[in-house]
Amino acid sequence: MTDLRQQALDYHSLPTPGKISVALTTSAETSYDLSLAYSPGVAEPCREIAKNPDDVYKYTAKGNTVAVITNGTAVLGLGNLGPMASKPVMEGKSLLFKRFANIDSFDIEVKHKTVEEFVNTVANIADSFGGINLEDIKAPECFAIEKALIERCKIPVFHDDQHGTAIVTAAGMMNALDIQGKDIKQANIVCLGAGAAAIACMELLIKCGAQREKIYMLDTKGVVHTRRDDLNEYKKLFANNTDKRTLDDAIEGADVFVGVSGPDLLSQKQVKAMAAKPIIFACSNPDPEIKPELALAARDDLIMATGRSDYPNQVNNVLCFPFIFRGALDVRARTINDAMKIAAVHAIRALAKEPVPAEVLKASGEKALTFGKDYIIPKPMDPRLCAAVATAVAQAAVDSGVAALEMPENYMA
């Protein structure tokens, strides 16, 4: 661990501090180049955009840029570290946008006193970008922030901690249910955690067919139930009319466990209490709610997923968010709606059922991968994800009426 710590610090500081930079896309070698790039030539696109604001997409980089914005109140699993301590994570997000979807990205860390101040700051700069990826903002403020920005901005606004996690979780979950021979409409689901990711995951699973009354959500005080008087408006949506009060109560006979909470909170005894052919998504990072080796020792009929790359079935947002934005930007979608999210779910889950190319096996350090209990979602290094997910998302945007452009001809061909 000491070696990893030093290697990570060196990676971020050498040979140049940080992980991203700005590169030029056009020539700037001669005086004439500069006369085109700046004065007097730059006046011409300015005039065109003044006449037709949509020409900003024609003459600037707006259409291929995403702002990654945070206030640093929920940085990874580290908590409220503040805006500057979140900057390495935001730069990392920008790196992923460029690496996986060739989207240019700028990280912006906002210091504010109120939700309204944060919203005003972001809304006032939003038109500079093609989309906004909100990141590492604590619940419940993140819900209000995203909702307000979606209403005020003319570009897609996407809180990845909520929706990216939900999309990848839903894709893997639906494949796991298929393998286990379970119907999502009949599945009893336990969700340990009641923050942004948990609520978004459960809402999307409901849109995919799960039944709200069969979901048992737990926060630090136990089961979220109808007789509690300490629930915020978001938890109230999952208040179950039940006598179950503890994880022990809820896990008895459960088909599915989703953990977005903290390490080592699910015991082997509780795993043994689940229904036949159970599914466990223990997504707390870096340490899951139960280590896979412990869970699999308790149940050999289990499908197990985590958020870690060193175990099978990694629930990783990079399977989703770069390509969601790629598709949204390419048809100039004004929002990222449920139809686009569900299209992404089905594109990701379908790709896991395809034969895996040798290049993916090599990049993933695997000898073989076949759809089944140890391979329910694609590997992050699978280059087919961009075309598959972006195409599905772009088409859904066009079909649902939120795109300004038609589907490009031979898109991603």
Question: Active-site positions?
Answer: 38, 93
* 3-class secondary structure, 333: strand
Q: DSSP letters of 140-192?
A: THHHHHHHHHHHH-SS-EEEHHHHHHHHHHHHHHHHHHHHHT--TTT--EEEE
Inter-residue contact 279 to 254 (CB < 8 Å): no
Residue with tokens 């940080």: 18
∠ Cα 241 243 247 (to 5°)? 105
**End-to-end Cα, the chain, rounded Å:** 43
Containing 402, the helix (H) or strand (E) segment is: none
CA distances from 384 to 61, 319, 350, 352, 388 (A): 25, 10, 11, 11, 6
Provide, for the chain, the percentages of residues in helix, strand and coil under a 3-state DSSP scheme, each rounded to the nearest 5.
Answer: 45, 10, 40
Tokens of 376: 């329910």
Buried b (16+ CB within 10 A) or exposed e, 370-401: ebebebbbbbbbbeebbbbbbbbbbbbbbeee
